[in-house]
Structure 1
């Protein structure tokens, strides 16, 4: 076990680490470019500061999952030193190991969207297990929120009711989207081949109801 894995880490921190490893799996990057790619991946208005990113990178370097080297091109051009991060062999193995996990942590609100972004790097049976787990969690959440809404309907105003309705509809859309993905995975085709299927308006991992 690496040093990075021995420390305690929050679900959001674990999701950020997985996103970093997944992006560096494709190509080495400077911190600036990596931050841009992470914002695009995590997205939906979430701001990722360097004060959050660089401690994460430092921990991954310390754990041996990524390496940090000076950019030789920057030195040739006479610019200040720039660090390029790349995945190590241990990092590739660890990323593959995590992507094959399909327990509750794989479909929670923090990590599901990141895992879904890298679904091509895991097996179809594993994808189905994660999608089913996510759907079950949202269905349970829907039922709880519906019951709470019915019990409190007389105590809230019209704007609160409208917000609750919007939240329920957002989660219902994600449940339908997940069901469609599960059906297509079981039929043997990668979900990304279906161009006519739009994702839910509320992004995966950002369910509006019951947050």
Structure 2
């Protein structure tokens, strides 16, 4: 799973299996529900990923006796200890690949399992990437405005507003993360 898309799917599968063991159909439904707005997963991409994760020892198969359908037992996939380590490794990666459109949503979906400083780096990186995109779209729009028809201009405006809205959302998330990191840790020691 060396490719960027492969790592995104690997993270999505390992993160989902971290929640609970699932069979392939349940896993696909969960991935589509969790990440549907970002991408749709097909059996064509899911099963090669599962096979690779099995070969690497990151997940294992179980065939529970009660999960028989049409004379065939359903395979339930479960995270191994190595899989949990790999998931933690993937969740600590906060570089440019985590900020991109392809993978940001997947990383964000598993933020509850991600350390605060990594979450903050990913959010700030994503914001920076979108601000760069805003600058280039505004510059291009200013240069070509007079040559575009009203529908194309409206589409450009809609795209610009969408990115501006996401930047505002990221600003709120970053502020929340920073406030949370500045709150004093609760004293869990008992007064004796």
TM-score normalized with structure 1 length: 0.81
The unaligned stretches of length 5 or more in structure 1 are 190-211
Structure 2 equivalent of residue 40 of structure 1? 33
Q: CA deviation at 1:14?
A: 1.6
In the alignment, structure 1 residue 26 sits paired with structure 2 residue 42: no
In the alignment, structure 1 residue 116 sits paired with structure 2 residue 108: yes
Structure 2 residue matching 1:187: 3-state secondary structure? helix
Following TM superposition, the consecutive aligned residue runs of length 4 or more in structure 1 with deviations greater than 4 angstroms are: none
Alignment of 1:146-185 (within 5 A): 146-185=138-177
Q: CA deviation at 1:78?
A: 7.5
Q: Superposition RMSD on alpha carbons, in Å?
A: 1.6
Task: Return closer, same or farther for 1:93/1:45 CA change in 2, 3 Å cut-off.
Answer: closer
Structure 2 residue matching 1:110: 3-state secondary structure? helix
Alignment of 1:130-145 (within 5 A): 130-145=122-137
Q: Is the 8 A contact 2:8 2:103 kept in 1?
A: yes
Structure 2 residue matching 1:68: 3-state secondary structure? strand
Q: CA deviation at 1:56?
A: 1.0
Separation in structure 1 between the aligned mates of residue 128 and residue 70 of structure 2, nearest angstrom: 55
In the alignment, structure 1 residue 60 sits paired with structure 2 residue 53: yes
Separation in structure 1 between the aligned mates of residue 18 and residue 11 of structure 2, nearest angstrom: 10
Separation in structure 1 between the aligned mates of residue 76 and residue 95 of structure 2, nearest angstrom: 33
Task: Return closer, same or farther for 1:74/1:140 CA change in 2, 3 Å cut-off.
Answer: same
1:39-64 per-position Cα deviation (integer Å, ceiling 9, x unaligned): 01111284322111111111111111
Given the alignment, which residue of 35, 42, 54 partners 1:49?
42
1:22-42 per-position Cα deviation (integer Å, ceiling 9, x unaligned): 000011001010000000111
TM-score normalized with structure 2 length: 0.89
The unaligned stretches of length 5 or more in structure 2 are 182-192
Separation in structure 2 between the aligned mates of residue 73 and residue 81 of structure 1, nearest angstrom: 8
Structure 2 residue matching 1:71: 3-state secondary structure? coil
Separation in structure 2 between the aligned mates of residue 123 and residue 74 of structure 1, nearest angstrom: 36
In the alignment, structure 1 residue 87 sits paired with structure 2 residue 79: yes
Separation in structure 2 between the aligned mates of residue 165 and residue 117 of structure 1, nearest angstrom: 28
Over alpha carbons, which structure has the higher Rg? Answer: 2
Q: Is the 8 A contact 2:100 2:126 kept in 1?
A: yes
Matched residue pairs, number? 181
